Amino acid sequence: MKLIYLIIEIHKNSLGFGKNDNIYSRNLAQLKLSNYSLLKDSKFESVTEQLTREELYELFDLLVQVPPRTYLLNIWNHKNGICRQGTKDLLKNLRGIAPKLTYRHTGNPNQYGKSPPKITWQGCSYDCNMMVSTLETEQTNRFYNLLNKKAPIDEIKSFIRSCIDEFDKLHTDLYVKYEKISSEQK
């Protein structure tokens, strides 16, 4: 994980003391905050390199006014990427606790001397992905409503954080639900 250091330089300008924030990382790449070049010249704008949750929260700390809409949409895409990674981790964990029978066959009650599972792995995966995509769509609609009403940056940041928390809660609830079903099948 990259360590990002914040070096604050104080410069005197015609209005008194001004603050110029420069960020240097371990790879010595310099990112500037003026005119949102931090977002433009870095991986914060690129959706090909996914931000971690910590990096996204660090970016939130740097935002003091509402950036242009395109930057907010890129931040939203990074939030969606974080949530999708959580879904991948959820499915990986569920695959580990599900009995092997649930994704080998769903035969009749007498097949191999075992009763068929209550839910198959495909059904579990489908259910999780449907619930996640439904929540993502609802959140995206609410996010666009925030952008259209030109909400302040603090409201946007708290909304994105609450969306990530909603996904964490959904992932936890789904894990508990399918862990319970899996334990009942054994």
How confident is the model over 18-75, as pLDDT tens digits? 444 444 333 333 333 344 444 544 555 555 578 888 888 888 888 888 888 888 999 9
Task: Answer yes or no: is 90 within a domain.
Answer: yes
Structural domain harbouring 75: 53-101+115-185
For 34-47, give one letter per residue: b (16+ CB within 10 A) or e.
eebebbbebbbbee
Cα–Cα dist 139/89, whole Å: 21
Task: Answer yes or no: is 109 within a domain.
Answer: no
C-beta neighbour count of 156 within 10 angstroms: 21
Q: Specify the pLDDT at position 117.
A: 55
Please check the confidence at residue 15 and state whether its pLDDT lies above 60: no
- Output the pTM of the full model: 0.66
Structural domains of the chain, count: 1
Task: Answer yes or no: is 108 within a domain.
Answer: no
